[in-house]
């Protein structure tokens, strides 16, 4: 492990400092592996999201909690949907937490949804919400769902709830053929309306670690697309997992739309390929920017990555020492980007928490 003192972007020369571990290989053709030991974010309250932190719900003792989307209610308070994982992903059900300020949260031991409530799901299987629910014109909220089918594959679905978390429209499969049925394995990631078009991100699963994909479907009418496979104007792959290209070296498995300063972005995350040096497969998140015609990887990426030491827990956040979890829930409030996610730890697998990053306000001209 060797520190970098300076990088001259014009000449391409890198000035190295002390070597702290091992022996530096300077042979021509030797490969380097970089990691960032710094942080550009603050973990909310420097702790897991709940105190006391629950370990049981009405369905029994669980393994960990993940983030399933933020709802900003009309009264100014917030709901965080929280899928609960039992065992080694043997079962997953949907619960929730509430907050008045995005920083202090109360977990509620009240189940919203489980697979025994879904006719097309595996009875004792997994169901989870993804990203922030989309507010419909009547004030209700459309929640994207990943649902485990009886054969173990996942299918794409949605439900409609109100602000009190009552189910107005029960879970229904998304009837776009590429994202529906027992013989495919996928789930939706994010939904947004931008310039009068509905955009939906989907994750294509694959038994191979790297061969995961993020797709985007664009439609002019939301329910015509979801229920009838109509009004779709575009469907394409926007990111594939890769072993070598860019900062996202690994499986592509998480994506979330963001609008900032009237521009459209995707917060994109992936899990790195196995490393001979780091303690775990790290997870990085960066931005993809929409330029009006195509998606481009933003030069500011990676946006954030959990810092790691070689074979040691990171000392700043001793409880959150490993990689960032997937299924992030972002929201921008008060010139701050809040992102709720899980951090890998020793036991349980993950603790759910949130991070915040100050962002520059829009310059008024």
For 120-178, write each residue's pLDDT tens digit: 999 999 999 999 999 999 999 999 999 999 999 999 999 999 999 999 999 999 999 99
What pLDDT does 279 receive? 46
Predicted model pTM: 0.86
What's the rounded mean pLDDT across residues 299-322? 59
What pLDDT does 320 receive? 65
What's the rounded mean pLDDT across residues 185-214? 88
Whether residue 108 is predicted with pLDDT greater than 80 in this model: the reply is yes
Of the listed ranges 51-65, 147-161, 310-324, 329-343, the one predicted with least confidence: 310-324
| Angstrom distance (rounded) from CA 217 to CA 236 | 7
If pLDDT is split at 50, 70 and 90, which confidence band does 253 have? confident
What's the rounded mean pLDDT across residues 288-301? 88
If pLDDT is split at 50, 70 and 90, which confidence band does 210 have? low
More confident residue, 247 or 225: 225
Say what percent of the chain tops pLDDT 70.
Answer: 81
For 44-54, write each residue's pLDDT tens digit: 998 899 999 99
If pLDDT is split at 50, 70 and 90, which confidence band does 329 have? very high
Whether residue 66 is predicted with pLDDT greater than 90 in this model: the reply is yes
What's the rounded mean pLDDT across residues 290-309? 78
What pLDDT does 304 receive? 77
What are the structure tokens assigned to 122, written together? 């595996």
What pLDDT does 233 receive? 97
For 85-98, write each residue's pLDDT tens digit: 999 889 999 999 99
Domains parsed from the chain with CATH numbers: 38-358 (2.115.10.20)
SS (H, E, C) the chain: CEEEEEECCCCCCEEEEEECCCCCCCCCCCCCCCCCCCCCCEEHHHCCCCCCCCCEECCEECCEECCCCEEECCCCCEEEEEEEEECCCCEEEEEEEEECCCCCEEEEEEEEECHHHCCCCCCCCEEEEEEEEEECCCCCEEEEEEEECCCCCEEEEEEEECCCCCEEEEEEECCCHHHCCCCCCEEEEEEEEECCEEEEEEEECCCCCCCCEEEEEEECCHHHHHHHCCCEEEEEEEEECECCCCCCCEEEEEEEEEEECCEEEEEEEEEECCCCCCCCCCEEEEEEEECCCCEEECCCCCCEECCCECCECCCCCCCCCCCECCCCEEEEECCEEEEEEEEECCCCCEEEEEEEEECCCCCCC
For 170-194, write each residue's pLDDT tens digit: 999 999 999 998 988 999 999 999 9
């Amino acid at each position: 492990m060797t520190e970098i003192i300076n990088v001259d972007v014009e000449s391409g020369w890198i000035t190295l400092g002390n070597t702290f571990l091992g022996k530096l290989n300077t042979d021509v053709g030797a490969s380097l592996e970089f990691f960032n030991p710094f942080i550009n974010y603050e973990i909310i309250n420097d702790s897991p999201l709940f105190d006391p932190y629950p370990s049981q719900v009405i369905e029994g003792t669980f393994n960990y909690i993940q983030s399933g989307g933020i709802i900003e209610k009309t009264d100014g308070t917030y709901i965080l949907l929280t899928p609960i994982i039992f065992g080694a992903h043997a079962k997953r059900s949907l619960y929730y937490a509430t907050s008045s300020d995005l920083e202090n949260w109360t977990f509620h031991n009240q189940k919203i949804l489980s697979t025994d409530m879904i006719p097309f799901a595996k009875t004792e299987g997994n169901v989870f919400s993804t990203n922030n629910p989309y507010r419909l014109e009547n004030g209700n909220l459309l929640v994207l769902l990943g649902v485990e089918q009886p054969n173990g594959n996942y299918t794409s679905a949605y439900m409609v709830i109100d602000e009190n978390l009552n189910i107005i429209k029960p879970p229904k499969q998304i009837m776009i053929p590429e994202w529906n049925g027992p013989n495919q394995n996928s789930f939706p990631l994010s939904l947004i309306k931008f310039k009068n078009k509905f955009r939906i991100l989907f994750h294509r699963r694959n038994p191979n670690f790297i061969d995961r994909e993020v797709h985007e479907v664009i439609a002019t009418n939301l329910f015509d697309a979801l229920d009838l496979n109509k009004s779709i104007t575009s469907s394409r792959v926007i990111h594939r997992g890769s072993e070598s290209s860019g900062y996202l070296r690994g499986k592509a498995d998480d994506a979330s739309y963001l609008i900032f300063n009237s521009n459209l972005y995707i917060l994109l995350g992936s899990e790195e390929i196995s490393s001979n040096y780091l303690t775990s497969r790290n997870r990085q998140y960066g931005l993809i920017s929409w330029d009006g015609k195509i998606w481009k990887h933003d030069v500011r990426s990676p946006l954030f990555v959990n810092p790691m030491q070689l074979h040691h827990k990171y000392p700043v956040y001793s409880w959150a020492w490993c990689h960032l979890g997937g299924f992030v829930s972002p929201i921008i409030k008060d010139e701050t980007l809040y992102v709720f996610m899980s951090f890998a730890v020793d036991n349980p697998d993950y603790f759910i928490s949130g991070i915040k990053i100050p962002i520059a306000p829009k310059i008024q001209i």
